[in-house]
Amino acid sequence: MARPITLFSGQWADLSFDTFCKKVSSFGYDGVEIACWGDHMDVKQAATDPAYVDERKAILNKYNLKCWALGAHLAGQCVGDLWDPRLDGFAPADCKGNPEKIRSWAIQEMKYTAQAAKNMDCSIVTGFMGSPVWKYWYSFPQTTDEMIDNAFKEIVKLWTPILDEFDRCGVRFALEVHPTEIAFDYYTAERLLKEFNKRNTLGFNFDPSHLIWQGVTPHLFLRDFRDRIYHVHMKDAAVNKDGRAGILGSHLPFGDNRRGWNFRSLGHGDVDFENIIRELNAAGYQGPLSVEWEDSGMDREFGAKEALSFVKRVDFAPSSIAFDQAMKK
């Protein structure tokens, strides 16, 4: 049985939720991963107002769509980050410029998100955790071991009460391993699980596009963390090793062809999706394959339609028999 294919609404939050769902249905997707920004999901309302939940579900039903996950990337980032002016863009107007107020809002927002997911009949929330140490990723001025240790301890302190609420709601949190997060590559992801004593509530939203340009082989990450893959983003990236561009991006905007790497619509980058599907089959993953469409060089409606066709083409089922079984007769 083919896995459901969904479209993440984060890159479509300029549209109303109804308009977005109408488009997703016309494209042929099975459902949506709802971003908790724009007007797509107000988590406080979804946590506290049954009528709001009924209205969201009615829109999904109207377009014959399902929802398996909510995406809480913006509030999650505000929980663990050291404040800088960029976070003001994620926070309510009355919090802007006030680091402690932003963090307090974000912690409560994530607790509401767990409750909202439960009320929406979703078992997964994808998102970010932020990082108090990301700005120190390059060790000059020198970054001490103590600074790194303290950063992981701070994340555990901040996120434990949030994950407690996730447990109460029967919802799991799937961190998207991503630059600017406390876990941004293979070894930081490994350490994060250890710091939380491998707490079952915490796993990963596997997104290969953030790994490939760092030099991490995505399907090997998937193989080694197979029991912690709670959700999957289908997203591609292309690496441009032209002798000029570096992987740090050169402060060039996404879509600039001079960059050392760019997100690409599915099938237009360097991610090996066949090996990813083989690893998902080996892991027994039957959750949604959620297209996160990001390609600054392509029309998004064309890309979303083409991405759906791509996922349908690559999502093959595992064999139910050994190919050489017949030779034994």
> Per-residue pLDDT tens for 66-89?
999 999 999 999 999 999 999 999
Q: What is the pLDDT of residues 15-37, one digit of tens each?
A: 999 999 999 999 999 999 999 99
pLDDT of residue 327: 67
Would you state the structure tokens that stand for residue 189, as one six-digit string? 């992801």
Q: What is the pLDDT of residues 221-253, one digit of tens each?
A: 999 999 999 999 999 999 999 999 999 999 999
139: domain range?
A: 5-328
Would you state the structure tokens that stand for residue 166, as one six-digit string? 């996730």
pLDDT of residue 326: 64
> Reduced to 3 states, what is the DSSP secondary structure of residue 110?
helix
DSSP state of 242: S
pLDDT of residue 319: 84
Residue 31: in which H helix or E strand, if any? strand 31-35
Tell me what the mean pLDDT of segment 45-58 comes to: 98
pLDDT at 220 over 80: yes
Domains: count for the chain? 1
DSSP state of 83: P
Least confident of 101-105, 138-142, 181-185: 138-142
Predicted TM-score (pTM) of the model is 0.96
Say how many C-beta atoms besides its own lie within 10 A of residue 108's C-beta: 16
pLDDT of residue 320: 81
Our measurement of the distance from residue 156's CA atom to the centroid of its chain's CA atoms, rounded to an integer in Å, reads 20
Tell me what the mean pLDDT of segment 177-204 comes to: 98
Q: What is the CATH number of the domain that holds 253?
A: 3.20.20.150
Question: Is the bond preceding residue 50 a cis peptide, omega within 30 degrees?
Answer: no
Q: Are 268 and 295 in contact (CB under 8 A)?
A: yes
Q: Is the dihedral of CA 70, 205, 310, 269 positive or negative?
A: positive
Q: What is the pLDDT of residues 255-301, one digit of tens each?
A: 999 999 999 999 999 999 999 999 999 999 999 999 999 999 999 99
pLDDT of residue 329: 63
pLDDT of residue 287: 97
Average pLDDT, the chain: 96
The residue among 324 and 227 whose pLDDT is bigger is 227
Residue in the block written with tokens 């994060």: 192
pLDDT at 2 over 90: no
